[in-house]
C-alpha cells in the first residue's frame, strides 16, 4: 500500500511505494540550516517509487553543493522530496509523511556535525559522515561574522541573516505538532523564543516569504525565497520572535529542554531522552492550542 505525504500547504502531494531502502537522520550543517531543525530524517526510495498526486505548482530549487540540489515548496516553504544526483533515488523528508511508513530510523549520519545544543540519546549506529559508499560530504559555510555578545544565524544560501542579543533565556522547545513537522520536513521543530527587542535582521529581510495556515490564527511559516530555509518569525503583537534553532551559526548557550505536542508526534519517531513531555502546550507556558 502506498504511503502518502504532502507539504504544509498541500500543493506538493505525493505517494511512495514500499519497500524503502533507508530511513536515516542527518545532522549535517546543510540539513540543519535548510530545515531549521536539530536534524533532518530522510526516507530513501527508488527512482520509480515516488509519484506526484498534487497539482503542478512552483518548487524552489537551490543548488546546495556541487552536483546536488534541494527543493522546497515555493508557496509554504516545506522542504519537499528531491532527486539524488545519481538519478536512481529520491530523498523524501519524513516529516511530510501522512502515513506510517512501517520503517524506523536506522542510523545517524554526519553525527560529528550535530548541533551543540542537541544530544543524540538513542543507541542507533552513528557515522561521522555518510555511510561508506554513499557520497561526498560538503559543509555549509558560515555566512555571518562572529560578534561578541550576539548569537547569529541565517539561511542556507546566505541571503538572509539575523542576530540575537546574548545571553538567551531557555530552554529550546521541541515541538511535534503536525504543522511543525510539515513546515520543517523533520521529526520535530526545535525553537527558541526571544523578545522582539533582542532580535535584529542583518540582511535579506526583503527575501522573506511567509505562509499562514488558513485555519490557524497564528501558525505562520517564514522561509527564504531563494533557498527555502526556515527562518525566524517576528511577532510584534506578542513581542516575541520564534527562531528555528537549526539556522543558528553560534552556540546559543541553551539546550533543548522539553517536548510539546507529543500526542501528535510522528509514528516513526521515538522520544528516548528524559526531558519533560506535554501532550500539547505546558500549562501556563504558552498560549492555549486554539490560539495557535
CATH code of the domain covering residue 167 = 2.170.150.70
Q: Is the Cβ–Cβ distance between 247 and 229 less than 8 Å?
A: yes
Residues 68 and 169 in one domain: no
Domain-located, residue 135 = no
pLDDT band (50, 70, 90) for residue 292? very low
Mean pLDDT of 19-30: 94
Which residue, 92, 113, 134, sits at the end of a domain?
113
Domain-located, residue 133 = no
Residues 69 and 21 in one domain: yes
pLDDT band (50, 70, 90) for residue 68? confident
Domain-located, residue 143 = no
Domain-located, residue 178 = yes
Provide the pLDDT for residue 289. Answer: 42
For the cut 90, the answer to whether the pLDDT of residue 281 exceeds it is: no
Range of the domain at 192: 150-291
pLDDT band (50, 70, 90) for residue 192? very high
Residues 203 and 278 in one domain: yes
Q: What is the torsional sign of CA 188, 190, 193, 197? A: negative
pLDDT in tens, 208-244: 999 999 988 789 999 999 999 999 999 998 899 999 9
pLDDT band (50, 70, 90) for residue 134? low
Average pLDDT, the chain: 92
Residues 108 and 170 in one domain: no
Which residue, 85, 113, 141, sits at the end of a domain?
113
Residues 155 and 80 in one domain: no
**32, containing H or E segment:** helix 29-35
CA pair distance 193, 128, nearest whole angstrom: 31
Domain-located, residue 119 = no
Residues 179 and 269 in one domain: yes
Residues 80 and 203 in one domain: no
Of all residues in the chain, what percent carry a pLDDT higher than 70?
94
What's the total number of domains in the chain?
Answer: 2
Provide the pLDDT for residue 140. Answer: 75
Q: 286, 280, 246: which is closest to 265 by C-alpha?
A: 280
Residues 170 and 103 in one domain: no
Residues 178 and 282 in one domain: yes
Residues 108 and 155 in one domain: no
Provide the pLDDT for residue 133. Answer: 60
CA pair distance 231, 236, nearest whole angstrom: 16
> Could you tell me the pTM of the whole model?
0.92
Q: Beta strands 230-231 and 220-224: pairing type?
A: antiparallel
Residues 158 and 239 in one domain: yes
Residues 102 and 221 in one domain: no
Amino acid at each position: 500500500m502506498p504511503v502518502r505525504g504532502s507539504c504544509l500547504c498541500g500543493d506538493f502531494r505525493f505517494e511512495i511505494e514500499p519497500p524503502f531502502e533507508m530511513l536515516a537522520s542527518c545532522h549535517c550543517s546543510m540539513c540543519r540550516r535548510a530545515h531549521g531543525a536539530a536534524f533532518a530524517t530522510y526516507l530513501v526510495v527508488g527512482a520509480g517509487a515516488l509519484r506526484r498526486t498534487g497539482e503542478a505548482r512552483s518548487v524552489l530549487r537551490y543548488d546546495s553543493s556541487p552536483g546536488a540540489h534541494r527543493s522546497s515548496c515555493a508557496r509554504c516553504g516545506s522542504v519537499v522530496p528531491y532527486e539524488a544526483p545519481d538519478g536512481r533515488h529520491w530523498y523524501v523528508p519524513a516529516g511530510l509523511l501522512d502515513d506510517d511508513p512501517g520503517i524506523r530510523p536506522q542510523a545517524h549520519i554526519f553525527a560529528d556535525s550535530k548541533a551543540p545544543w542537541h544530544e543524540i540519546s538513542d543507541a542507533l549506529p552513528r557515522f561521522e559522515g555518510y555511510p561508506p559508499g554513499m557520497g561526498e560530504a560538503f559543509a555549509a559555510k558560515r555566512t555571518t561574522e562572529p560578534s561578541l555578545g550576539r548569537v547569529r544565524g541565517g539561511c542556507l544560501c546566505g541571503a538572509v541573516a539575523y542576530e540575537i542579543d546574548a545571553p538567551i533565556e531557555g530552554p529550546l522547545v521541541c515541538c511535534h505538532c503536525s504543522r511543525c513537522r510539515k513546515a520543517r520536513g523533520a521529526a520535530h521543530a526545535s525553537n527558541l523564543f526571544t523578545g522582539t527587542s533582542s532580535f535584529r535582521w542583518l540582511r535579506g529581510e526583503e527575501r522573506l516569504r511567509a505562509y499562514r495556515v488558513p485555519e490557524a490564527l497564528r501558525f505562520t511559516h517564514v522561509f527564504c525565497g531563494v533557498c527555502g530555509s526556515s527562518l525566524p518569525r517576528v511577532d510584534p503583537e506578542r513581542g516575541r520572535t520564534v527562531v528555528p534553532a537549526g539556522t543558528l551559526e553560534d552556540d546559543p548557550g541553551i539546550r533543548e529542554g522539553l517536548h510539546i505536542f507529543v500526542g501528535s508526534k510522528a509514528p516513526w519517531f521515538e522520544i528516548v531522552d528524559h526531558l519533560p513531555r506535554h501532550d500539547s502546550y505546558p500549562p501556563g507556558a504558552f498560549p492555549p492550542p486554539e490560539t495557535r
